[in-house]
Structure 1
Amino acid sequence: MRVTQNMLNNNMLNNLRQNSAEMQRSMEQLSTGKKINRPSDDPVVAMKGVDYRSELSKVDQFERNMSEVRSWMDTSDEAMNEAGQSLQRIRELVVQASNDTYDQDDRANMASEVEEIKNHLTELANSKVNNKYIFNGANTLEPRFDIDEEGNRTSENANNDAVEIEVSDGVYIQSNINPDNAFSEEMFNSLDDVVGALRGGDLEEGEDGAEARVSQFLDELDDHSQNLVNERADLGARMNRADLIENRLSQQKVTTNQLKSNNEDADMAEVIMNLQMQENVHRASLGAGARVLQPTLMDFLN
């Protein structure tokens, strides 16, 4: 095959274009810090990158779900702690009211305090997190108790279903408690009876049936307090599990980010070395190309 001057020129230009393209790619890697900047650079790396980003997106969503679960659990625990203290105070008042050193006016004042504590417990039962009622089971859009203008309490919307939130692939955790164990209608009925007994004056010592009445109230209050303790213990166990899940999600996020970095991030030292070599090759190509160009009359005269 006869090699012409045009062939030499074209080959030289093609080689220069290839060198320039390699330099451009290295300069892109250097400026972005990534092995590839478009899927066509390396489809395998690009597909793995999509998978890692999808995994990170899922982990981020699970972490947001865990934040919601935490809010529900922490608020539930605080509310039950307040409810337990409130029931303990009512118990103390019942014991005091059975003492003859208190007259009917004193017992009426105690009844007012119990009434206020009952109202506070109602507010706790209607606690909200992110505009959702957390003590009404799966019916999170309506309060557990409705209070009319006259102060009457109704629980037509009461719901005790579990609210489960996905916190990992196929893993769900119950974020709420069983409200019937913490804020039951029976508990509020007991408090209504206590208020009525205090205002009616039938808790005085020496009266027929008063001792039995006091004992009945104390037993009921103790039962409600024990239900709160049991529900808090169950919640505490789930809070411990939530800690383990949160730690696993954090570790999963770190691991996935590391894999994504290994897959996509460029080795900067290697990129700089490659760029330096490509610059040397490019300069050498230019020098060689100058000799390949068609000689002129001046070249012969020299």
Structure 2
Amino acid sequence: MRISTQLLYNNNLHSMQNGAAELGNLLQKMSNGKNIQRPSDDPIGAVQVLTVQRDQAATSQFVDNIGALSDSLDRNESYLTSMIDLQNRMREIVTSAGNGTLSPEDREAYADELETLKDAMVDLANAKDDKGNYLFAGNSTTTAPIQLDGAGNYVYKGDNKTREVQVSDSTWITANSHGEDLFFSGGGKDIFNALDDYVEVLRDPTLSPGNPGFDVEQKSMMASLDDALTSISAAVTTIGGRQNSLSLIETSHQDMMLFNKQLVGEVEGLDYAEAQSRYQSSLVALQVTQESFVKISQLSLFNEM
């Protein structure tokens, strides 16, 4: 077989280029700490890393959803707890107002305070989140849930729908409580209209405990308070349960994200000691190839004739 000078030259040049490329690849790996720079470096490992990274991104989104939902539930719980505080004071007043020894002036003073508490209750029921959405209007978040109709009665203007937030592959958590359940689900009057009717009775100097007209409204007012307090307390309890679930799910997600991070590190992470050893070997090989190339480029087969 005849071997030309050009063939020796090309073979040496090819070896030198491969050596330089190997060194460059090793330097890139050492600079970013990743053993897989492209899928061809490790096809199976590259697919595994992509799969884990996709799962990691989805889990990260679930964690973000949990954070936002938890904040929203905290806000709901805060307003509902304030409503309970108002109702506890209302109950004290209604109980005291049933005392037959009170004067009409005393009942008038209680009426004034109940009106103030009712207005505060309406404000809480019409509370908004940081984006201006009504919290207790169901999915009608741009509509104030508690309004007065043309006859001066309080009515619910929201809907009875709830919003679900996905917090894992298979878990959705309810994000809101609507006003129909909270205020208008009892068997008697809702708390807002019951307060209006009761205040009117307290302001009537001809009515007092023992009078049928007074006693009927007194009983109706207590029943409305019981209904509202039961509904709102149940909502607060439900929120607490949701928060506990979110906490457990978030912990599970964080553990999985940590595991995935470690797994990716094991698959694509670089063994620096091995890489340094390979780098030194490749550098020596390249230097030898370069020296040979210089000598070969100066030779001709005719020199041996």
Deviation of 1:152 after TM superposition, in Å, equals 4.6
Quick check: 1:205–1:211 contact (8 Å CA) kept in 2?
Answer: yes
Deviation of 1:67 after TM superposition, in Å, equals 2.2
Taking a change above 3 Å as real, the CA distance of residues 215 and 157 of structure 1, as seen in their structure-2 partners, is closer
Quick check: 2:83–2:121 contact (8 Å CA) kept in 1?
Answer: yes
Question: Letter of the aligned partner of 1:220 in structure 2?
Answer: S
Quick check: 1:56–1:253 contact (8 Å CA) kept in 2?
Answer: yes
1:230-259 Cα shifts (integer Å, max 9, x gaps): 232222222211211111222222222222
Deviation of 1:42 after TM superposition, in Å, equals 4.4
Provide the residue aligned with 1:26 in structure 2: 26
For structure 2, list consecutive stretches of 5 or more residues without a partner in the other structure: none
Please say if 1:190 is aligned against 2:194.
yes
Distance 1:201 1:161 in 2: 44
Deviation of 1:209 after TM superposition, in Å, equals 5.3
Please say if 1:242 is aligned against 2:246.
yes
- Which of 265, 268, 271 is equivalent to 1:264? 268
Taking a change above 3 Å as real, the CA distance of residues 40 and 78 of structure 1, as seen in their structure-2 partners, is same
Provide the residue aligned with 1:82 in structure 2: 82
Provide the residue aligned with 1:279 in structure 2: 283
Query: Which segment drifts farther, 133-142 or 115-124?
Result: 133-142
Q: Say how many residue pairs are matched.
A: 297
Quick check: 1:177–1:235 contact (8 Å CA) kept in 2?
Answer: no
Q: Please tell me the root mean square deviation across aligned C-alpha atoms, in Å.
A: 2.8
Taking a change above 3 Å as real, the CA distance of residues 33 and 62 of structure 1, as seen in their structure-2 partners, is same
Please say if 1:36 is aligned against 2:36.
yes
Question: Letter of the aligned partner of 2:251 in structure 1?
Answer: N
Provide the residue aligned with 1:131 in structure 2: 132
Deviation of 1:211 after TM superposition, in Å, equals 4.5
Distance 1:9 1:151 in 2: 102
Quick check: 2:125–2:136 contact (8 Å CA) kept in 1?
Answer: yes
Identity of matched residues, % = 27
Residue aligned with 1:22, SS: helix
1:122-141 Cα shifts (integer Å, max 9, x gaps): 12112222332221222223
Deviation of 1:167 after TM superposition, in Å, equals 1.2
Distance 1:39 1:245 in 2: 34
TM-score by length of 1: 0.86
Question: Letter of the aligned partner of 1:228 in structure 2?
Answer: I
Residue aligned with 2:124, SS: helix
Distance 2:206 2:87 in 1: 20
- Which of 196, 199, 205 is equivalent to 2:203? 199
Deviation of 1:177 after TM superposition, in Å, equals 2.5
Deviation of 1:47 after TM superposition, in Å, equals 3.5
Quick check: 1:80–1:182 contact (8 Å CA) kept in 2?
Answer: no
Taking a change above 3 Å as real, the CA distance of residues 239 and 31 of structure 1, as seen in their structure-2 partners, is same
Residue aligned with 1:168, SS: coil
Provide the residue aligned with 1:92 in structure 2: 92
Taking a change above 3 Å as real, the CA distance of residues 224 and 74 of structure 1, as seen in their structure-2 partners, is same
Quick check: 1:126–1:145 contact (8 Å CA) kept in 2?
Answer: yes
Taking a change above 3 Å as real, the CA distance of residues 283 and 216 of structure 1, as seen in their structure-2 partners, is same
Question: Letter of the aligned partner of 2:145 in structure 1?
Answer: R
Deviation of 1:118 after TM superposition, in Å, equals 1.1
Taking a change above 3 Å as real, the CA distance of residues 57 and 194 of structure 1, as seen in their structure-2 partners, is same
Provide the residue aligned with 1:221 in structure 2: 225
Distance 2:100 2:156 in 1: 40
Distance 1:97 1:221 in 2: 15
Please say if 1:155 is aligned against 2:155.
yes
Residue aligned with 1:225, SS: helix
For structure 1, list consecutive stretches of 5 or more residues without a partner in the other structure: none
Question: Letter of the aligned partner of 1:193 in structure 2?
Answer: D
Distance 1:278 1:161 in 2: 67
Distance 1:117 1:10 in 2: 94
